[in-house]
């Protein structure tokens, strides 16, 4: 829409790339080498903001002249972060816990551009309500998809969609990239540069 | 998951096909030849149920042995159906109306299987909240996408995503196919056939 700066997505997530493409933004991908430590003592919102920033800074160090996007997404139930499942059994345990309940998906996002002294950090929270999921369905999902790779052990953009009764908030945030909130900040950055 | 009946989607919408594929269901597409008459005097929910059923019946007539899925989706603001825009100006008018407000997306769905005497009809409603959209953004969207083809003049799965602040309800319904509600009915049908 406006002439855009060089943008780097500091995330290897193909879903995040797909979402950023969806809104006509050109970018490169340079995944950060930062890994979350789930033993760190931070509340979920502070956790995702902390890691979004670390990831962006990690890539910004050698890319001072680009706008870096760092993002971190977690699934939260009863105030506790649910990470990626350790194994198939853990995946079953997580999905049974989430069944018939509402949990939160929280993404932290950092927009860092050293050269222009831009340093923005924000978070977005979406409520996701699952219907009752049977053990047979959980087994089907584990056998046919790869929940071990996913925060909260599910992907809303695959078969698991049938288990999602409703969401309240930004849908794209559930996929790891809160598009409208990001875009508001992005337009503000373009405005400042004019 | 279970052995499935022959399924026909009575809709030519590529988005509906993509969503039905997403949940691992095999089906054929036979678009109905029914066209909505927006001058008909029906409230939005009755309207979408009426047309979902007409579309399903249209295809079911020559496919008695298959489960037919008919669907009809409308965008509703202040209780009034907003159809597809007539031209570019109409598209602008619609998007200006929807800007900075919450509207409803309602899908009616009919599941008809003559041979098994199955005749199910339901609807799903989702609230969609837009942020304030500038005329410049509306012009960009009209120039780069094809809103003339879309109910309410927007597609949540394209650039327009940046204008969607939040949704409350089923996301897939906004794309024209309420996956979790459909799946519940579908499992019930499979159960009955056991």
Distance from CA of B58 to the nearest CA of A (A): 27
What are the beta bridge partners of residue A164? A130
- The token pair at A15 is 């879903």
What is the arithmetic mean of pLDDT over B118-122? 97
Per-residue pLDDT band for B95 (boundaries 50, 70, 90) equals: very high
Per-residue pLDDT band for B2 (boundaries 50, 70, 90) equals: low
Percent of chain B with pLDDT over 70: 98
* B40 domain-assigned: yes
B47-64 tens-digit pLDDT: 999 999 999 999 999 999
Per-residue pLDDT band for A51 (boundaries 50, 70, 90) equals: very high
* B2 domain-assigned: no
Provide the number of structural domains found in chain B: 1
* B83 domain-assigned: yes
Q: Which domain holds residue B37?
A: 7-193
* A188 domain-assigned: yes
* B146 domain-assigned: yes
What is the arithmetic mean of pLDDT over B141-160? 92
Percent of chain A with pLDDT over 90: 90
Residue A3 pLDDT: 64
Tell me whether residues A136 and B164 touch, CB distance under 8 A: no
Q: Answer whether residue B112 shows pLDDT above 70.
A: yes
* A84 domain-assigned: yes
CATH number at residue A152: 3.90.950.10
A72, A90, A149, A158: which is the annotated catalytic residue? Answer: A72
Residue A22 pLDDT: 95
Tell me whether residues B23 and A169 touch, CB distance under 8 A: no
Residue B150 pLDDT: 87
* A81 domain-assigned: yes
Percent of chain A with pLDDT over 70: 98
Active site residue B72: yes
- The token pair at B105 is 């997306």
* B182 domain-assigned: yes
């Amino acid at each position: 829409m406006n002439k855009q700066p060089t943008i780097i997505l500091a995330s290897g997530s193909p879903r995040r790339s797909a979402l950023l493409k969806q809104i006509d933004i050109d970018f490169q991908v340079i995944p950060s080498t930062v890994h979350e430590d789930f033993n760190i003592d931070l509340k979920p919102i502070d956790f995702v903001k902390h890691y979004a920033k670390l990831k962006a800074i990690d890539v910004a160090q050698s890319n001072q002249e680009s706008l870096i996007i760092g993002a971190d997404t977690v699934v939260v139930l009863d105030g506790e972060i649910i990470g990626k499942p350790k194994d198939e059994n853990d995946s079953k345990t997580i999905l049974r816990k989430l069944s018939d309940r509402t949990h939160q998906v929280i993404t932290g996002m950092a927009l860092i551009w050293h050269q222009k002294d831009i340093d923005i950090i924000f978070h977005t929270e979406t409520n996701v309500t699952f219907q009752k999921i049977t053990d047979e369905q959980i087994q089907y999902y584990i056998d046919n998809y790869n929940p071990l790779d996913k925060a909260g052990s599910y992907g809303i953009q695959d078969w698991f969609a049938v288990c999602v009764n409703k969401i309240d908030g930004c849908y794209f945030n559930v996929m790891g990239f809160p598009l409208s909130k990001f875009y508001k900040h992005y337009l503000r950055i373009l405005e400042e540069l004019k």
